[in-house]
Amino acid sequence: MRIATWNVNSLKARLTRVEEWLGYAQPDVVCLQETKLADSAFPALAFQTLGYESAHHGEGRWNGVAILSRVGLTDVVAGFGDDGAPDPEARLMWATCGGVRVASAYVPNGRAVDHDHYRYKLAWLERLRLELEHRYDPTEPLVVAGDYNIAPSDADVWDATQFVAATHTSVPERQALQALLDWGLVDTFRRRHAEDGLFSWWDYRAGRFHKRQGMRIDLLLATEPLAHAVCFALIDRQARKGSQPSDHAPVLIDVEVARL
């Protein structure tokens, strides 16, 4: 079973690229972020034509997450499943696909370390941790895939000196990510690829992609029962090339279902 995550930076602007990618990557489950669509504008029929069930949690101009699946799509939950106040932004959804509980997550960017949005980011990550702790079991197969807007280590940024005291690399953000790992999640891509210079996002500006100056912020975090069954992991840089690309590349893992 191939599971992918991709921040598409507007599904309306990216639909042709997404359809093309589904055709050659042949994922079974896809978590999308930044669809920037209202639910009424989500192109479910286009995905159905390609063999995918889908569910979307959107708000319109900003944010928005979706899950596509050709191995079943049940028990959909939009947002946090706790009894707290609804998240004001559409950044999280859950579904069960092929026996795996899947989340598509678009973690807040943070903007600046002294910004309200940065505090929202840290609180959002803690709320996600509490949801895992209260509602899920790290001995069951589960993946929380998405744009975390955090580079887990300095090996995940092109030049750590460019990010001193900046968002995406700050100690509190990395601690919040580590708290998810401490609960029982594994960075599945990093487990299979130890080298640095492997990124999933590159700024559109200043030729960053062609200079190989990016960050690895799109992660497939999985519980051990799923992580130990991963036999392949890839960042598809091809999808960042060509006409009208997203600024993120898709990241995918292949899971040996017999080992789940």
Partner DNA sequence: ATGGTCGCGCAGCGA
Per CB under 7 A, does 213 bind DNA? no
The minimum distance between CB 34 and DNA, in angstroms, equals 7
Per CB under 7 A, does 108 bind DNA? yes
* Catalytic member of 28, 147, 187, 247: 147
Which residue, 44 or 260, has its beta carbon nearer to DNA?
Answer: 44
23-31, 78-86, 174-182, 202-210 -> range binding DNA (CB under 7 A): 202-210
Which residue, 171 or 206, has its beta carbon nearer to DNA?
Answer: 206
120 included as an active-site residue: no
Which residues ranging from 19 to 78 are in contact with DNA (CB under 7 A)?
36, 60-62
23-31, 97-105, 133-141, 199-207 -> range binding DNA (CB under 7 A): 199-207
Which tokens hold the place of 89?
Answer: 């932004």
Per CB under 7 A, does 211 bind DNA? no
107-115, 133-141, 169-177, 225-233 -> range binding DNA (CB under 7 A): 107-115
Out of 123, 165, 171, 206, the only residue in the binding site for DNA (CB under 7 A) is 206
136 included as an active-site residue: no
* d(C-alpha 14, C-alpha 27), whole Å: 17
The minimum distance between CB 40 and DNA, in angstroms, equals 13
Phi, psi of 54 (to 5 degrees): -150, 155
Which residue, 204 or 232, has its beta carbon nearer to DNA?
Answer: 204
Residues within the interface to DNA (CB under 7 A) = 9-10, 12-14, 36, 60-62, 108-109, 111, 117, 203-206, 244
